[in-house]
A and B are shown apart, each in its own frame.
Chain A
């Protein structure tokens, strides 16, 4: 029972570790250079999943303020307009901030998600360099199977 609890309470960690190990297995044991790169992509994606999952909270929403949170319809607008869209009265920045009631618990933590944008870019760049190298290897050795390449190096000696 305890095991089940440990699994269910932290299932995001279990899943990312499993995916990561699949990627690591492919990187180490696959013979085909492109398959290794696929493994590398899976490996990096698992880490992205890990980061995204640590920013999530129960019952949260995206960390963006909705229109009616900034311009509440029941608000203290002097003009008494029906929705308070603020077309004729623009409250100053300080007024908006003072009227806001934000619970940090209602929002997902955006920072890990933003970090992952960078990590995704890095991952794409790594994959690009990897594929370019694979292409050059294919041009030089006529194969992308690791054992065949190693044999051709051995026979060239």
Chain B
């Protein structure tokens, strides 16, 4: 069983998705336990896999015993073991949150919703674990197709947003597919590690075909991760979709695509090619500076909580893309650490937004008036998430920014450091505005969206346990990842140091 752990990570949600589709339609009460079972198995397998990676180094898992380049394999190293654990944990926590939210928001489609939910998580986990470039495309499409449907189940506006996302997402994935085609022309292989070996063995780094492949893959991945000028699909999709969908996709989709970018740069094309030979570092870091500033300023202008958070995600994408392209070991470590930290901070604030939306039925900031007295525990969870996004120690957000800024300084990109600091200040303004409304604001206005479970007349009360529990766990995890950042960073440094990124720039 232990040997199979990498496969179990994605097979557990996949098989349970099929089971759920068969059994769930008639027996709605089965859906929630099945989802939790599948994701709990997945989390356990991720933990085991991570332990094994720490002990034994890279794990290879061959499907059907066929070895690459002919067969398809999962290849787990320090990078994807961590990301897979983050993805499955976020999915599990969101699933716990969904217990009440899903029947309330999509009452007639509970089993369909959960089936798509599990398939989407399968796709995301598959992207993280696979060692095959074409499989990566298929898994991107699996997670994307299910997320279009998950978003489309929301309000009127959500359907339109999902349509827009579908068009943009298809363009992005198609560009990626084209890039893989060009790689295949030149190397005759689809396995990521084999492609890398072929490129080195045949000395293909100067080839224009490889350059075209690199550009196509990067543009495709940037569209999928909503890197600033290509972000148009994101804000409305995450604002108007069901709250569970936002809490699942908001933290995960963009981070997983950043993982894909890192994987492509480090493993497939090699950092010498991406950073040294192309010399794009300056341009891309400047692009990320613009992304961070533009998205942060757009977030200031929003009156809806979800939309503000959506723009914060775009700013965070800028952090990570910039951190990767600093072409510095510390920047790379910071980016990878930020993937994990940001997944949990985004989850934390999106869970909070979901709770507020279920309790008050409103999305605007004034819905939070006086919540500190009404929902103290919810606000504590939110505060940790907000402090982490601002970057106040000892939360995870502080340490990831610390590493990113160190990377920026040591590689000499001071504009990136400045953008990070300005964005942190803007985050502080954003969240202290909410805290002010929630702490000092007037009593909550009555008469808005009493659709469910508002037993008392005095406005919202503390959220139910199934919603509060994941929020508080996430908050605790944020503190935990922050306090134990050295252990996490040790795993990442172990992985990154084999690529000698810092040495190239010197």
Contact = CB atoms under 8 A, between A and B. Distances in A.
Given A141-B156, A149-B160, A119 B148 contact: no
Contact residue range for chain A?
20 to 34
B162 to A, nearest CB: 6
Contact of B141 (A36, A115, A122, A140): A122
Contacts of A44: 170, 174
Contact of B177 (A27, A47, A137): A47
B185 interface: yes
Interface in A10-60: 24, 27, 33, 36, 40, 43-44, 47, 50-51, 54
User: Is the contact region of chain B dominated by helix, strand, or loop, or is it mixed?
Assistant: helix
A72 interface: no
A129 B148 contact: yes
B174 A130 contact: no
B149 interface: yes
B181 A137 contact: no
A89 interface: no
Given A40-B170, A43-B171, A122-B138, A133 B145 contact: no
Contacts of A112: 181, 184
Nearest to B165: A133
Interface residues of B, number: 25
A43 B174 CA distance: 8
Nearest to B144: A126
Contact of A24 (B138, B160, B162, B171): B171
B329 to A, nearest CB: 36
B455 to A, nearest CB: 31
Given A33-B163, A129-B148, A50 B178 contact: yes
A137 B170 contact: no
A146 to B, nearest CB: 9
Interface string B129-151: 00000100110010001001100
Contacts of B174: 43-44, 47
User: Is the contact region of chain A dominated by helix, strand, or loop, or is it mixed?
Assistant: helix
A136 B157 CA distance: 11
Interface string B457-469: 0000000000000
Given A54-B184, A133-B163, A126 B145 contact: yes
A133 B170 contact: no
Interface in B160-194: 160, 162-163, 166-167, 170-171, 174, 177-178, 181, 184-185, 190
Contact of A137 (B134, B159, B171, B178): B159
B391 interface: no
A1 interface: no
Nearest to B156: A140
B423 to A, nearest CB: 29
B167 A133 contact: no
Nearest to B163: A133
Contacts of A40: 167, 170
Interface in A109-138: 111-112, 115, 118-119, 122, 125-126, 129-130, 132-134, 136-137
A64 B85 CA distance: 44
B54 to A, nearest CB: 35
B152 A133 contact: yes
A36 B167 contact: yes
Contact of B159 (A24, A47, A122, A136): A136
A118 B145 contact: no
A126 B177 contact: no
A109 to B, nearest CB: 9
B159 A115 contact: no
A4 interface: no
B159 A133 contact: yes
Contact of B138 (A50, A51, A118, A136): A118
A47 B134 CA distance: 14
B166 A126 contact: yes
Contacts of B185: 54
Given A118-B138, A149-B160, A43 B184 contact: no
A117 to B, nearest CB: 11
Given A54-B185, A118-B138, A149-B160, A129 B177 contact: no
Contacts of B190: 111, 115
B159 A27 contact: no
A111 B162 CA distance: 33
A27 B209 CA distance: 27
B181 A130 contact: no
Given A27-B171, A47-B177, A153-B157, A133 B166 contact: yes
Interface of B: 134, 137-138, 141, 145, 148-149, 152, 156-157, 159-160, 162-163, 166-167, 170-171, 174, 177-178, 181, 184-185, 190
9 contacts: A43-B170, A47-B178, A50-B178, A54-B181, A54-B184, A122-B145, A125-B145, A136-B152, A140-B156
Interface of A: 24, 27, 33, 36, 40, 43-44, 47, 50-51, 54, 111-112, 115, 118-119, 122, 125-126, 129-130, 132-134, 136-137, 140-141, 149, 153
Q: Give the 4 A-B residue pairs with the shortest CB-CB distance, closest first.
A: A140-B156, A122-B141, A133-B163, A136-B159
Given A51-B181, A126-B166, 4 more contacts: A47-B181, A115-B134, A130-B163, A130-B166
